[in-house]
A and B are shown apart, each in its own frame.
Chain A
Amino acid sequence: MENEAQFTVDLGNLMCFNPHHHFPSKPSSREELVKECLEKGTELVQIIANNLFNLPSTESVDGPLVKLPPPTTRLPREKPLPKPKAPTKWEEFAKARGIKNRKRDKLVLDEQSGTWKRRYGYDRANDEENIPIIEAKMTDEPGFDPFAKRLSDKKNRVEKQEKNRMQNLKQAAKVGNLPSHVQLAATALPITGTQAAPKKASKHDLGKVAGIAVTATASGGKFDKKLRGEKPAQQPKKFRKFLPVAEGTGIGSQERSQTERILNSLISKNSHEILNVDKAISMYNVKKEKRKNQKGKSSSTSSKLKPKTKPQKKFSKKGSSKKEKAK
């Protein structure tokens, strides 16, 4: 009944989709439903088979082999696309200079023994390290050991090579291009596609955290053994200032200023004045200065020559008035 051309066939996945079948809203019974589903299924499978068997096939030992087309339904990948390998420092240099890789022979003629030996590895040709006698040059100091020098030279070369290799790998890791079998051990993540390395904590952050950890003991970290070179904790604490016991008879000046301060803050909290006189005065003074500066700039004379007119600091009227009131 349905038009065959309306079925979607995806041969690469061996799938066929019939979007037009409409099931009756009240299925008659379970078995009938199953039968109908299987019938429809058989139709679709027949269509797939028709398409399959009409593909060009090659005979093989087991049976007719058919080359399937790539699947048409797009399904998501499981891992991201691989990034192209970043060139190492040498590769970049070679590309810039135009240096091409030469093909070399596997065997090289060894001059000393006259046989063909391998180019590198065990028992190699023209090996510099196998020379039993090294002639001393005129420029050599007495007591100079050329064999030891050879060993240390080789060690230096190997170290340099390792350092360069590490640099290349670190560069690749920064870009995210580390080869799949290599893992840089400081970052102990499992080897996987694109998980970025966690950022290293800064010295400041570490110090802060260490400080918090240290003071998290019952005695606030005061009696813990400190490591060599560990600075004492720098926690900003509020210190209570205790006035000196003996200062003179009666209320000394320090005590007076302390009590004055306390009284002022208490009374100002309870006052209902809308205008904060202190603040108004300082704001007015600041504005005046600014205006003066602007005038000074507009005129050619430098402000330094002008006599400085410092605004007179008016004593806290508010406080004095309150004192009178309190009295």
Chain B
Amino acid sequence: MLKVKTPRNHRVRRELEKRAPKLVENGKKTLILHGTKTSGVLNEVLKEIYHLKKGKAVKFSRKNENIKPFENGGETSLEFFSMKTDCSIFVYGSHSKKRPDNLVIGRTYDHHIYDLVEVGVENFKPMESFKYDKKLAPLIGSKPMIAFIGEGFENVEELKHFKEVLLDLLRGEVVENLNLVGLDRVYVCTAISSNRVFLSHCGLRLKKSGTKVPRMELVEVGPSMDLVVRRHRLPNDSLKKAAMKTARDQPKKKVKNVGDDAVEGKIGKIYIPDQKVGEMAVINKSKGVKRERREAKLKKSDQGHASKKQKEDST
């Protein structure tokens, strides 16, 4: 017997609809976790990446022994976590003698592994070691500018793939409208050699220039590290084709109660419920009340004098 399971409350229903496949997708969430053994450096790196992507990242604190991204069987746990947390990029850190300070950055498509890049971290400098004017500190969640420098990103295949993955990881949400005041961070990625990339996170200082475009000045703020590309796995062609498919532009949603007129231009309709004039609340009661009070007082005083006189008479 097949039973239909639907969520009992609307909150769960809304969550499920958020996670359903859509034409225009939500921004990718990042999953940060580590394997059996991590080094001090790696712990710091993972912590800083989590801070940089706060709000759109999930960090697991336990060690995961059975995750081996590059092996056939070691991916099931990762896919399970990706499904549960709805994250499609993951950063997995591990440390071993053969691969010290190892980071595996991977992406998933439909909660299956799409591609992987394995990098080693060297010359890591945490955020605390940089001294700068506190006003320049970038806010959490601001959209970053990304700069890629170096011919390696164009010529070397591994670095090309790594550039794509870095862009996906660092870019944040895709927005249509941007507030120019909120530009305050830059990621600078330079391909120093054919397998080494220098990544640095900088804050922006906008200086006045003659024109309306301000002069940019970079101040090193956040973590900076050297990433050495070790292994990588490209997606297989059929999966790549399926993932790169985009639907043609959907016709814009019809806005209700708005119409176009050739002569008058844009016309809007507003519906107002019937007004019950008798039951409406009067805003400024005090003046009217005061006048009424005064009149009432006068009336009373007349009556009161009359009654007092009567009393005196009686007693």
Contacts and interface: CB of A to CB of B under 8 A. Distances in A.
Interface of A: 12-23, 25, 27, 30, 33-34, 37-38, 40-42, 44-46, 48-50, 52-54, 57, 60, 62-68, 70-71, 73-82, 165-166, 169-170, 180-186, 190-194
A76 B109 contact: yes
Contacts of A190: 83-84
Most chain B CB within 10 A, of A14, A44, A60, A194, is at A14
A50 B218 CA distance: 15
A48 B145 contact: yes
Contact of B148 (A17, A80, A186): A17
Contact of B21 (A42, A73, A81): A81
Contact of A80 (B21, B144, B235): B21
B188 A38 contact: yes
Given A34-B224, A74-B246, A190-B83, 11 more contacts: A17-B149, A18-B150, A21-B149, A38-B200, A42-B218, A63-B179, A64-B179, A64-B180, A79-B110, A182-B4, A184-B3
B177 A78 contact: no
B7 interface: yes
13 contacts: A17-B148, A25-B193, A44-B147, A45-B147, A54-B213, A67-B176, A70-B174, A76-B114, A76-B240, A76-B244, A165-B4, A182-B6, A183-B6
A73 B19 CA distance: 24
Contacts of A27: 192
A226 to B, nearest CB: 26
B190 A37 contact: yes
Interface in B6-52: 6-7, 12-13, 16-17, 19-23, 25, 28
Contact of A63 (B175, B180, B198): B180
B245 A63 contact: no
A81 B110 CA distance: 10
Contact of A14 (B6, B84, B145): B145
A110 B167 CA distance: 64
B295 interface: no
B23 A81 contact: yes
B82 to A, nearest CB: 9
Contacts of A184: 2-5
Interface extent on B, as a size class? 35 or more
B95 to A, nearest CB: 23
A80 B242 contact: yes
A255 to B, nearest CB: 59
Nearest to B80: A190
Nearest to B191: A23
Given A37-B190, A45-B216, A75 B168 contact: yes
A66 B177 contact: yes
Interface in B207-260: 212-218, 220, 224, 235, 240, 242-247
Most chain B CB within 10 A, of A17, A44, A76, is at A76
Closest 6 CB pairs of A and B: A180-B20, A78-B88, A63-B181, A76-B243, A41-B188, A185-B3
Interface in B173-208: 174-183, 186, 188, 190-193, 198, 200, 202, 204
Contacts of B213: 49-50, 53-54
A211 B6 CA distance: 37
A86 B35 CA distance: 43
B108 interface: yes
Contacts of A192: 83, 110-111
A81 B247 CA distance: 8
B153 interface: yes
B171 A15 contact: yes
A15 B167 contact: yes
B154 interface: yes
Contacts of B168: 75-76
Contacts of B176: 67-68
Nearest to A23: B192
